[in-house]
């Protein structure tokens, strides 16, 4: 029996993270695919999900999936752990599409997600696919199913790019979902065969490592869930591509009653404790967050939540409740230690970073500091400013990124005009062998990458940091970090120097 839609979540975990994939990186649920699959089946269509990051992919998978599901349409939403991870997922998605077409060229394939939405025509021409959904994809996929069933005209489908006789056509823009509660009321968690095996990022569970009976701490990092409580972002930082899907800077919310009902299900039905909110900014509306905390505190769940926030949206009055509600980690976009560098990419932080980080930590909430090396105004001195600030803040963990001009971002528009950046999509992956940062006005890509890799080692091997880690989390976490530092990821760009 044929199903209407097979959703394949693409990825290549090992290639993306190299040897870090074995123990240190997360394996996150395909959150957008789960929303889509639930939406489609509520419309009366049959569907299934295959998550490559969890189940793997080899030359036999295409034939096995097609023979077992006999899908009328295959959909791949090209997303990763965060918005910028869409482009780095494109090579894996392309490989899967080629394997499917090699086995059965007649099965239609649609790509959606951040990268395809930013570059729809190019994606359609470069990849062995039939359609691209520009935008969120919900209405587009529903319309395409009807068209493939002979129930509508292709021009009636909103947000669809398609090929005809080697020419590319676009129907018309799709509108975003307005009422999230009504139209996107849940996730198709029941379609994941191994829901209990998803794994949180190592740092997300540092405070629980002492409970673990395993050397890789997998028993405290799984199961793991990712959900949204809102979609979009009201800001427009030049390096960010999140709003490529939505067409403009905006934010929409699910009701807190809906969000809490999802957490109820995750905790009581699936036994999930580790949860990440994938909202670009969960800590944005103080009244909303406070009410969320009150609702969670009433339930007394033993959950371990991580959420994103801006430095200037943190309020002292919220922190005590956040901790009591189970929010143990806040992820702060600090980006640069140099105000001029931040301002140049429209990242304006209106509060004192040091005081805010200290405030969070004083409430026993841990901080993941996110930093970027290679912003357009960066030179060696300003990157040292960033590293100095990171060391001074001494957050419980730090992500150090190199700057990439992700399609859909303002930086991508800039490098397109200058025609000076590689468009090998593998090179957009932060931890891959092919990583290629964007040059700054003063530095070459190899200088930025070498600085970033050295900075990661310097920060996490700093005695001040390791002593803090041992004091807060214990010796097992300290040794885990030292083991992580011993994993040397390879860089093609640096091998050439």
Q: Which residues of 149-169 are buried (b: 16+ CB within 10 A; e: fewer)?
A: eeeeeeeebbbbbbeeeeeee
Instruction: Supply angle C-alpha 144, 147, 150, rounded to 5.
Output: 155
CA distance 276 to 329: 9
- Whether the CB-CB separation of 353 and 311 falls below 8 Å is answered with yes
Q: Domain spans of the chain?
A: 5-170, 199-495
pLDDT at 21 over 90: no
pLDDT at 360 over 90: yes
- Whether the CB-CB separation of 219 and 229 falls below 8 Å is answered with no
Q: Which of 75-84, 109-118, 228-237, 477-486 has the lowest mean pLDDT?
A: 75-84
With cut-offs at 50, 70 and 90, classify the pLDDT of residue 417: confident
CA distance 400 to 489: 14
- Whether the CB-CB separation of 112 and 75 falls below 8 Å is answered with yes
pLDDT, tens only, 379-403: 999 999 999 999 999 999 999 999 9
pLDDT, tens only, 162-172: 998 889 999 99
pLDDT at 420 over 70: no
pLDDT at 51 over 80: yes
Q: Which residues of 446-465 are buried (b: 16+ CB within 10 A; e: fewer)?
A: bbbbbbbbebbeebbeeeeb
Region for residue 408 given its phi and psi (left: phi exceeds 0; alpha: psi -120 to 50; beta: otherwise): left
Cα–Cα separations (whole angstroms), residue 296 to 15, 323, 463? 38, 11, 37
| Range 199-495: architecture per CATH | Alpha-Beta Horseshoe (3.80)
Q: Which residues contact 425 (CB under 8 A, 6 or more apart)?
A: 87, 88, 90, 91, 115
pLDDT at 82 over 70: no
Looking at per-residue pLDDT, the higher value among 350 and 343 belongs to 343
Q: Could you give the percent of the chain with pLDDT greater than 90? A: 84
The pTM score is 0.95
- Whether the CB-CB separation of 394 and 453 falls below 8 Å is answered with no
CA distance 362 to 238: 32
CA distance 151 to 165: 23
Q: What is the pLDDT of residue 59?
A: 85
CA distance 451 to 445: 10
Q: In sequence order, what are the beta bridge partners of 373?
A: 402
Angle between helix axes 353-362 and 316-324 (nearest 10 degrees) is 40
DSSP output for 73-103:
-EEEEE--SSTTHHHHHHHHHHHHHHHHHHH
Is the peptide bond prior to 223 cis by the omega test (within 30 degrees of 0)? yes
| Range 5-170: architecture per CATH | 3-Layer(aba) Sandwich (3.40)
pLDDT at 278 over 80: yes
Q: What is the pLDDT of residue 81?
A: 64
pLDDT at 253 over 70: yes
Q: Tell the residue number behind the tokens 């290679």, with chain if given.
A: 374
CA distance 466 to 206: 13
Bridge pairing between strands 5-9 and 74-78: parallel
Q: What is the pLDDT of residue 47?
A: 98
């Amino acid at each position: 029996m044929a199903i209407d839609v097979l959703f394949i979540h693409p990825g290549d975990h090992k290639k993306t993270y190299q040897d870090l994939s074995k123990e240190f990186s997360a394996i996150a649920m395909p959150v957008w695919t789960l929303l889509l699959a639930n939406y489609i089946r509520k419309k009366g269509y049959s569907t299934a999900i295959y998550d490559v990051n969890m189940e793997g992919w080899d030359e036999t998978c295409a034939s096995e999936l097609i023979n077992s599901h006999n899908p009328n349409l295959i959909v791949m939403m090209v997303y990763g752990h965060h918005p910028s991870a869409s482009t780095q997922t494109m090579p894996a998605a392309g490989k899967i599409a080629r394997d499917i077409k090699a086995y059965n060229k007649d099965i239609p394939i649609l790509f959606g997600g951040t990268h395809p939405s930013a570059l729809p025509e190019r994606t359609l021409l470069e990849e062995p696919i039939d359609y691209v959904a520009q935008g969120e994809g919900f209405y587009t996929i529903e319309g395409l199913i009807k068209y493939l069933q002979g129930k509508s005209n292709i021009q009636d489908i909103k947000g669809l790019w398609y090929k005809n006789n080697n020419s590319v056509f676009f129907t018309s823009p799709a509108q975003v979902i307005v009422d999230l509660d009504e139209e996107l009321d849940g996730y198709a968690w029941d379609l994941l065969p191994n829901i209990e095996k998803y794994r949180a990022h190592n740092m997300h569970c540092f405070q629980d490592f002492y409970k673990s009976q395993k050397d890789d701490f997998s028993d405290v990092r799984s199961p793991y869930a990712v959900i949204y409580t809102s979609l979009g972002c009201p800001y427009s930082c030049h390096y960010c591509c999140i709003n490529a899907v939505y067409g403009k800077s905006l934010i929409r919310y699910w009701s807190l009653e809906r969000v809490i009902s999802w957490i109820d299900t995750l905790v009581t039905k699936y036994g999930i404790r580790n949860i990440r909110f994938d909202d670009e900014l969960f800590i944005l509306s103080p009244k909303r967050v406070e009410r969320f905390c009150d609702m969670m505190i009433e339930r007394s769940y033993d959950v371990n939540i991580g959420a994103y926030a801006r430095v200037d949206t943190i309020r002292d009055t919220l922190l005590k409740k956040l901790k009591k509600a189970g929010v143990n980690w806040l992820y702060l976009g600090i980006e640069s230690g140099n105000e001029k560098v931040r301002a140049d990419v429209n990242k304006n932080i209106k509060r004192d970073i040091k005081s805010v980080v200290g405030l969070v930590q004083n409430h026993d909430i841990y901080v993941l500091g996110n930093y970027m090396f290679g912003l357009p105004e960066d030179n060696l001195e300003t990157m040292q400013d960033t590293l100095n600030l990171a060391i001074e803040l001494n957050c419980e963990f730090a992500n150090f990124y190199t700057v990439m001009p992700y399609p859909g971002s303002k930086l991508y528009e800039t490098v397109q005009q200058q025609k000076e950046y590689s468009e090998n999509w593998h090179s957009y992956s932060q931890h891959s062998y092919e990583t290629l940062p964007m040059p700054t006005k003063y530095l070459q890509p190899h200088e930025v990458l070498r600085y970033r890799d050295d900075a990661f080692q310097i920060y996490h091997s700093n005695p001040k940091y390791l002593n803090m880690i041992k004091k807060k989390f214990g010796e097992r976490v300290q040794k885990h970090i030292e083991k992580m530092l011993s994993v040397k990821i390879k860089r093609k760009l640096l091998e050439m120097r």
